[in-house]
Amino acid sequence: MINFLTQMPVLDFRSILEIWRNAGIFDIILPFLLIFALVFAILEKSKILGSNRAVYAIISLAISFFSISNPYLTPFFAILFANAALGFAVLLVFVLLLGMFTAKDGKNGWIWVGMLFGIVIFFWVLGRSINDAGLQPLVYEFFYANPVLWSTVIYGGAILAVIVLVVVMVPHGDETPGETLKKLFTPR
């Protein structure tokens, strides 16, 4: 007599994760959703195009589709998000230790230490992701081997910063430029 229960394949959590990985959940769907959510949140917070959420959704959808359709960005996003999770874990442990060993009255000075540590973690995650994705030659070419390109990037960044500043400073509706800027940087 054959025991069918012992010959059935076992479907454990690792097998489910492997099935999802093969289906593209981790390299296509989750990066798409994360990029969509980030772009939508930035657009909605800045109110740069008014208060029409449908426009924000369409723009976020287009940017998300473009980002996952690029063959260089898709593996980079998978590596970046995995390293970002590691960076968030390290930052969380640091903040917990900082909260345990600091006094309540000297809290403001330690906030800057936590922010500085967060910036260090950001660059650590970015460097680790570039290294893991094998993009070092591209980064070297961009920063060191082509000074003309680098000066173009600086000028382009300055022009983009001026355009963003003008768009942010233009009053939206009844607001003055200062109110628009305050609304952009104050928490709700």
Contact by Cβ (8 Å): 31, 81: yes
Span 33-84, pLDDT tens digits: 999 999 999 999 888 888 889 999 999 999 999 988 888 788 888 888 888 8
What whole-number distance in Å separates Cα of residue 12 and Cα of residue 6? 15
Q: How far apart are CA 54 and CA 159, in angstroms?
A: 28
pLDDT at 62: 95
Kindly list the domain boundaries of the chain, sorted by start residue.
Answer: 9-69, 73-135, 146-188
pLDDT tens digits, 100-133: 877 666 556 677 777 888 889 999 998 898 888 8
Helix (H, G, I), strand (E, B) or coil at 135: coil
How many CB atoms lie under 10 A from the CB of residue 95? 14
Q: Which two tokens stand for residue 142?
A: 């961009």
